[in-house]
Each structure stands twice: as structure tokens, then as C-alpha cells.
Amino acid sequence: MINELRSITTFVRTVELGSLSRAAEAQQISPQAASKALAQLEAYLGVRLFHRTTRSMSLTEEGQRFLEAAQPSLLGLQQALLGARQTREDIAGPLRIVGPRSVSHAIIGPVLDEYCRLYPEVQPDIQLDDRIGNWVEDRVDVGFRIGQSPQEGLIARRLFPLQLITCASPSYLRKHGVPRALHELGAHRCSVFRHGGSGRLVPWHVSVGDDIQEQPVSPAFSTNDETLELRAVLAGEVIGQIAGPTAAPHIRAGRLVPVLLDHMTEMYSLFIYYGSRSAQPARVRRFIDLAVERLVDNPEFVLDRQELAKAQRTALRG
């Protein structure tokens, strides 16, 4: 099958440089490949483009007409290809990012702030949604996801484990008591997160020995907005199972108290996902690199067991 672009390029370069061997060298192909490309073009067009002798090549009348028609178009195509390569390296243009509504504000926000300061010519377009969209149709550059992406052809990089911490405000615990075992949750006012995509209530998950199991609770409060759920827990209205990145600053400040620590689970992790790095524009690669640098195993979003136990002892002792 004829490769039209290579054949036309070989033809034009042969005219410009005066010989087929020079045209081959300029394209970094063998003289045999250049000769084959030119022969294929003549066969495809059904005309001879050059008069050939052992010492020279000169255009036929048909070759001259074809050159006049093809040369401007080839130049325009080459300029378009060069422009696309240059744009690929520019740190400017749109950057489409998707992620779940839950946990995204605390995690993605600071990275975006820093990125925008470093690259003010980029226009981030962020879509937070708990549903799993279509990567191609949504024109996504970078995605964040709790768990690995189910779509083939994407690269997933684990950022950190996502703890699920059962916690309540000090005022709630003073009023309703501290649950010491899972079965005691039945006597407590619990909040339950409602999945924004499916609309279903997301069951609590707890660690029991080496297993992770669902823990039934009766929802006294439910919402598909993590900010509202956190507000209700901080206000002392309910006890909730809050994601580590959201709960961490409030636990460290004493506004929330972790309970049932033996049953805390890390069944999920947060991932960043993207297409092949080799084909990414520079603005996308820089964002990926910054996100990985700032987020991988960041202790700001993960509390170790000793820190959790100390926070619990301090709060309950007070």
C-alpha cells in the first residue's frame, strides 16, 4: 500500500535537493526506500514524474504540474505538524481533571493552587462527580479515583491508603456515650453517605480480625455531600465514618474523636490515572508530576495508629 505522505515528501525533497540520494538522507531513510516511495507515487498517479538518466533527473511536464499543486499543501501540513509538536511542549491550554466529590476538596485543592501559581497560562477544568464517566467522551486529561480505574489503557498510580475512621465530636460522646464495640452502634445516631452516582446508601465497612465486613447501621442522617456529613458530625448531631483526609485535621485539632480503632479499615486507596505519558502535553505531565510529588503517602492525609490512639486518649481523658 502506498504511503502518500512519505511518497509526496520524497518527491518534493528530490526536486528541492536535486537528487534522490540527498532526499533519502534528509528523510533519514535508505536510498532504496526513497526510490520505492517515488516509484509507488508514479504508479499511483499513473504518470512519470521525472526524466531519469544515469547522471541526472529532471521533471516531466506532469511532474512540474504535480509539484506546483503539492508543494504548498505539503508545506502547510509540515507547519501544522511542527505547530502541534510545539503546542505539546507549551505549558498552556486547557487541563481537564475529574475526581470524586468525596475527599477531593482537601486533596486536589492545594495541588491545584500550587499548579496554577506555577503555570498561570493553563486553564484547569475540574469536574467532581462520584459517577464513573467515559474517559474519551469526557476528554479527560487526569483523573482521581478511589480504587483503580476499570477502563483499559489507563495508567493508575496509587497515592495513599484511604482510611475510614469512625469518629464523633466530644459533645456527641458526652451526650450519647462512647461506643466500645460494634454491636453498640445500634444505640447510636449514625450518618450514612449516599452515593451521588447510584443514589444508594453506602454501608459502613469495618475491620474484624483479618476480614473486612459491612457493618449495618440505622441512618439518622444521610447525604451525598461529604461537607454536609462532616458538618453534622462536627455539630454533635451524629457519629460518622469519615474518610481519613477529611477527618485528619479535625482529629488533630481535637474537634473529632476517633473511636472503635480496632475496627478501622484501609480497604480503599486513592489513585491518580492518566493515558500514556509519552503522548501527554507538557501541561498534563507537569500536573501529574506535581500531584505525585505532593500526594504519594502524604502524612497529612493518613493518621498512624499511635496518633489515633493518642488523640482518643486525650479526648476521652479530658
List the chain domain ranges.
Answer: 4-89, 92-318
Would you state the cell numbers that stand for residue 139, as one nine-digit string?
476528554
| Spatial CB neighbours of 77, under 8 Å, sequence gap ≥ 6 | 5
pLDDT digits (tens, 9 = 90+) for 133-154: 555 556 788 988 887 655 666 7
pLDDT of amino acid 13? 84
pLDDT of amino acid 237? 94
pLDDT of amino acid 1? 46
DSSP β-bridge partners for residue 278:
none
CA-to-CA dists, residue 125 to 99, 116, 122, angstroms: 11, 12, 10
Question: Is the Cβ–Cβ distance between 239 and 179 less than 8 Å?
Answer: yes
pLDDT of amino acid 14? 82
Question: Is the Cβ–Cβ distance between 237 and 168 less than 8 Å?
Answer: no
pLDDT of amino acid 281? 83
Identify the sign of the CA torsion 233, 262, 219, 99. positive
The CATH architecture to which 4-89 belongs is Orthogonal Bundle (1.10)
Q: Considering the entire predicted model, what is its pTM?
A: 0.65
Which stretches in the chain have pLDDT values below 70? 1-2, 54-55, 78-90, 102-103, 130-138, 148-153, 196-197, 277-279, 318
pLDDT of amino acid 58? 81
92-318: what fold? Answer: D-Maltodextrin-Binding Protein; domain 2 (3.40.190)
